[in-house]
Amino acid sequence: MVSKNSDLSSKYNLKFALHDPAHCLAPGLFRSIKKGDRKKLKLDITYEFGDKNKIEFSGPEPLGADDLRVLQGLIAMAGINHHDQFVTSETSSEHGKEVRKQMDLKWDATNDDVVVAKGSYRELAKEIGYADCENTKTIRNCVERLWKVSIIYEFNKKRIGCRLLSSYASDNEKGKLFVALNPIITSVIFGFKPQHTRIDMQEVRLLSSDAARLLHQRLCAWINPGTSRNVSLESLIGYVYFEDTDNRYTKRTRKIDIKKALNEFELLKWQIEEYRKEHYKISRPESVIENISKKSPSKS
């Protein structure tokens, strides 16, 4: 989970990721995963927003907190030098053409530009706070799972079809990583979309539990820096656990998990006020956190 020097020892020391709000707010896109879920469940999520706009995600496996964390890291890596990692629709290089072919772009998206994250699995592991940065199999599995996800994006009565991302490992022994993000996220990184979700990567590296990571992205998309919003414990549970349950023990366990996750937010200088039973006012810090006491490292 959190490495000893996760925010100091990496090559990039990335501070934030500019993410697409629809990817962050789509209910169930990233969820708590139980053992065996990935073998028996598929990804099939539709999120409607704005004036008859929607985004559809489909894939052979559901996505969990580990996949969420990896995608955040890739977006942050792509954004650090994005002007040097831009693949346009008019690229003439064979490598660039292959990138666009693997993106599986459809309809209006065939003319869109994409941005690339370059580096290694090890570097990515450091950026997202993995304790064991030498064992990169988990990272590779997440990247491949994300690559299998297809998207249909409908906005202003136009439809765009693409993959969530396209990845290449140029050298399996050295773990080299080359990932092209989809045109929707690319437009956010370049400021072409008026709205974005700013995710503090220092906070990402310090979070310990899957529940906290899933909540963090959702709340970052919902609460702007320096502002607060009210939310019920029931709603917070729904952000993490996509399926309802009638089991009393499971309900109690989920409540405990979410309350522990809120404790992690307080360590990140978020303010959590229970203004009435199981209803919270959550305030997000104005700027990047500094001088936070590091928690004890644990395994990813």
Query: Tens digits of per-residue pLDDT, 188-202?
Result: 888 877 789 999 999
Instruction: Tell me what pLDDT residue 191 has.
Output: 81
- Sheet with strand 165-168: strands edge to edge: 86-87, 114-120, 176-181, 165-168
Q: Is the pLDDT of residue 10 over 50?
A: no
Q: Is the pLDDT of residue 284 over 50?
A: yes
Mean pLDDT of 110-134: 79
Distances (CA, A) of 149 to 61, 68, 143, 161, 214: 9, 13, 10, 11, 18
Instruction: Tell me what pLDDT residue 167 has.
Output: 56
Mean pLDDT of 271-293: 83
Mean pLDDT of 137-155: 91
Give the SS3 label for residue 48.
strand
CB 231 within 8 A of CB 296: no
Kindly state the tokens that stand for 186. Answer: 């690319």
Degrees to nearest 5, angle at CA 169 with 142 and 147: 40
Residues 6+ apart with CB under 8 A from 253: none
Lowest mean pLDDT among 32-36, 108-112, 194-198, 258-262: 108-112
Q: What is the pLDDT of residues 62-116, one digit of tens each?
A: 999 999 999 999 999 888 754 445 444 444 445 444 544 544 444 344 445 678 8
3-state DSSP percent of the chain in helix, strand and coil, to 5: 40, 25, 40
Mean pLDDT of 209-219: 97
Give the SS3 label for residue 115.
strand
Rounded Cα distance, 26 and 55, in Å? 8
Highest mean pLDDT range out of 71-75, 157-161, 287-291? 71-75
Average pLDDT value for the chain: 82
Give the SS3 label for residue 86.
strand
Residue with the larger pLDDT of the pair 54 and 296: 54
**DSSP string for residues in 118-130:** EEEHHHHHHHTT-
Instruction: Tell me what pLDDT residue 159 has.
Output: 87
Q: Is the pLDDT of residue 295 over 80?
A: no
Give the SS3 label for residue 136.
coil
Rounded Cα distance, 184 and 65, in Å? 21
Q: Whole-prediction pTM value?
A: 0.83
- Sheet with strand 43-49: strands edge to edge: 43-49, 53-59, 150-155, 158-163, 106-107
Residue with the larger pLDDT of the pair 155 and 275: 275
As to burial, measured by CB atoms within 10 angstroms (0-12 exposed, 13-18 middle, 19+ buried), residue 249 is: exposed
Q: What is the pLDDT of residues 234-245, one digit of tens each?
A: 999 999 998 899
Instruction: Tell me what pLDDT residue 81 has.
Output: 59
Kindly state the tokens that stand for 49. Answer: 């927003």
Instruction: Tell me what pLDDT residue 289 has.
Output: 53
Residue with the larger pLDDT of the pair 47 and 78: 47
